[in-house]
A and B are shown apart, each in its own frame.
Chain A
Amino acid sequence: MEPNLDKNSDLSFPGEAPGLFGDFLEKNFLFTRLQDLVAWGRKNSLWPFNFGLSCCYVEMATSLTSRYDLARFGAEVIRATPREADMMIVAGTVFIKMAPVIRQLYEQMMEPRWVVAMGACANSGGMYDIYSVVQGVDKFLPVDVYVPGCPPRPDAFLEALTLLQDVVAKERRPLSWVVGPQGVVQPSRGSQRDLKTPLRRQTTILPAVDGVQDPVQPIHQSPVRLEVAAAEDNAASGDAVRALAERFPDLLVEDRTVRDGTPTFWVPQEQVKEVLRHLRVGVDRPYKVLYDLFAIDERTRVTKHASAGDFTVVYHLLSLDRAGEIRIKTPLQGESPAHASVTDIWPSANWYEREAWDLFGIKFSGHPHLSRILMPPTWKGHPLRKEHPARATELPPYQLPDEKMAREQEALQFHPEQWGLAQHAEDSDYMFLNLGPHHPGTHGLLRIILQLDGENIINAIPDIGYHHRGAEKMGERQTWHSYIPYTDRIDYLGGVMNNLAYVLAVEKLAGIEVPDRAKVIRIMMSELFRISSHLVWYGTFAQDLGAMSPVFFMFNDREHLLDIVAEITGGRMHPSWFRIGGVAQDLPNGWQNKIREFIKYLPPRLIEHDRALMQNKIFMGRVKGIGKYTLDQAIEWGITGPGLRACGSDWDLRKKRPYAGYDQFEFDVPVAHNGDCLDRALVRVEEMRQSLRIIEQCVNNMPEGPYKADHPLTTPPLKNRTLKDIETLITHFLSVSWGPVMPPGEACVPIEAAKGINSYHLTSDGTAMSYRTRVRTPSFANLQMLPLLGQNVRVSDLLAILGSMDYVLADVDR
């Protein structure tokens, strides 16, 4: 309608469209009908439920902060309890293990209630067409507004809110609901995706690229005895390898298919424990850290090692004193193999072995509590075995009828006796408090069961797996190139730093040497994301301790930083910007300006934050001496990152074994000595300053040159010669359409990520996809220590400890 500016025509008659005055009436506070009044009230007072599932929640929370300010619409009154909330924002991936919980929370909300599906995952499953993810929350909840994006920007969420307000003002429920003869129902129309399921099921195995390129030569190796092994030349671990060979003559077989330089040996199942124990206690400067333990299903591998059986268990050990690693592999035979647990050598093997049981069905005898860890207790099958379907759309469509809901809820019940916990003390009963899987203080989908005596925690048992997105299985069907976006979403606060760990491993496999400019760009972006990740931690840590303002200041700083990221990469949280052999694009013109501004901007702000928070007496009282662990305990549990450096070790991979060009930079490694919550916080705050130093050096010394390696496996390959040479064009075409084909072998390059050491152990079978992708994340190891820290503290302390650990649930459950 044309705006009518003539004052005299400001009259409206019944049946006519209202004039200006009528508009004013409608938009403002004079109402003719009570119904409109109520709708107006509801529309303007949409209180969101404090509910988040994964990455999208961070963007949703950002919409509350200064730049976006959700409060303008009166929607900042975030309620922690569903009873008081009006809308549930399903922000993130809907996991099958989480679905019954989501539905229960929805049912606990009072009418009228609304649901916003935020992000591609909540809308449709998004990138995660994988066994553990429900393909859209509307499979079991009525959705009012869908917000597209992965993740949607905060502004997109604001738009969703205004859309929802329009719907609420009109008192209209979602169109997908239909009034039928039996009441209001949602017609069950199969989605297009479900209709395609039978077709999908037929094509689970993509044809190998052999038909396009030269067939891959299988590299069946003959066993190589140690005397000729190259592993002895390894600078960090050579002497240990020699000592091991002397101690166990004629036992070790070297695995030459591994391309990352880490000495790797096959040891028969019967002797492996003895060998591992020797490495743990017998050698000089022993391997005290169980860096990783995982399994490989070798049954369909074409290029498998001569020593391999049906399954392989890989022990990846790390010695901090040597800054060296060693890898021991042991073959297992049979469809449901059994193996001896190493929990008596490394207590941290506990969760890793449970994971291998859960995902591969390998039984570990002697394990204290071998049960499912990532999948729901009612799950059938072991998802990472090759015969298990990968896609959710290969499985029947997800439904949640009442009886299934009841069954799943029953399965989630905690039984103290199974964990050897007493119900009663001598003269009192213990209270078992279920903290999570959805709780405002757990920073994501983590469940902790607390055995309480009053407010004192006797035992804390973490229950994880509510955020399992099947990232490892995903690697087995994405091309080497198209897996990069999945890495962003592992530690979803770490952005491109995740890409770095992955592309470094792929480049090791491919033998690509990255040009200097690409190296420096990568380091610069990674350090930016380290700051970003730490800023989010800083703000949320303050919030855990009850301070409400700091989070706004820190998220504000983060916005400045994300502006730089957006300018360079075009993305915010998940730029997916690194490429095999370099980065996606060259830096844009004038890229230095904003970074230089930021380098000037942040240090005074950090001082301000110090004054506002770190020097606050109450804050000090809450964190000093709380959640203490010693260096030995940290090593025993495989803690890495700031958590390790807070107890007196200066172990930073960037210094100890520089990768990706870090040896060219000057920076200090902040160390603290008490190992409590305060020290972990101090280390992180100082790390931000050091990262700024690195970024400044990058800006001042950015080398000229190509941003991508000139190598046939670089993806996407350099394009400038494609129109001059047909072979280059063909290679380009294949690399872009099929994806590059990596030579068979294995590689793994650990990096110092924001939360600790992160790496991707990639196994190539000589095809366009990975045969097995193992994601080793710091949060998994760091969180495993929680039962130790959660003893004899108070509930409030537990939240401080959780905050100071700085984990991301996607980084725990992958």
Chain B
Amino acid sequence: MTSHKSGHSFKPFVVLGIFLLVWWGLPPVFHSFTKVTFAEIQAPFATLHSHIKDFQFYLELQLHSKKELIETCRDLSRLNAYHSLQKQENKSTQTEIEALELLLHLPPNPGFRYEVARVCFRDISAWWQQLIIRKGQNYGIMPGQAVVFGGGVVGKIAESYATTAVVELVTSPNFRCSAHFESDNSPVIYQGLINKPFSSPTGYVTNAPNKITAGIHLVSSRLGGIFPDGLIIGFVNQLQPEADGLFQSGTVSLDPRLFEIQEVAVLIPSELE
């Protein structure tokens, strides 16, 4: 077992072998317990980092002149006026939808509450692409819920802890969801793609009908039960016929702001409230 001549002992390898055997033999509940425990230990540090970033941003804003501030306020008041008009329109559309649902005996669309959360850490590797956000189970955030931002779909909640949650990004190679094109309701499959270094995020769409031509937005579908209908996923640059000739597939350019995101909104289904 031990080579005294060379001064080497194989004890480290024996210890490693025994540990790995025991570790892999342990029930999954033990692994998830350790993961959750360590995640809760790390949560305050992640939150602290996020607060420091916010403070940095605040200091950055202090550098702006009063003139810039006045201009921004003016632009914001215009946006506010536009959004209040949109809100009124939405209200009348919603009333119309409810009346039609009643008339046609359709089940109502699931409603959502928007829970806005700040991003603590962004982790964009070749194997996973995720965000850690500053809210968790304390705000009713649970795994599987949709996450969105101003540019459209961000991803879905992969894990949820007491005060933080992990969001799997739409760019992640493991991310899949049902979608459809803006002008067509046929369901297609969207999947994240590994993107090259120093490049914008991309995805991949399959099962696209032959009648669709590239240069169109891909939007979320409510078929998967996670996202509401019509949220922008990305822009389809090119489509090529698949091997069977029945469908097309192609790449989707995603919003480049996805990797710079500072704030997201989690869609919490109303039925959970």
Q: Do A and B come from one complex?
A: no
Seen from chain B, the residues whose Cβ lies within 8 Å of a Cβ on chain A are none
Seen from chain A, the residues whose Cβ lies within 8 Å of a Cβ on chain B are none
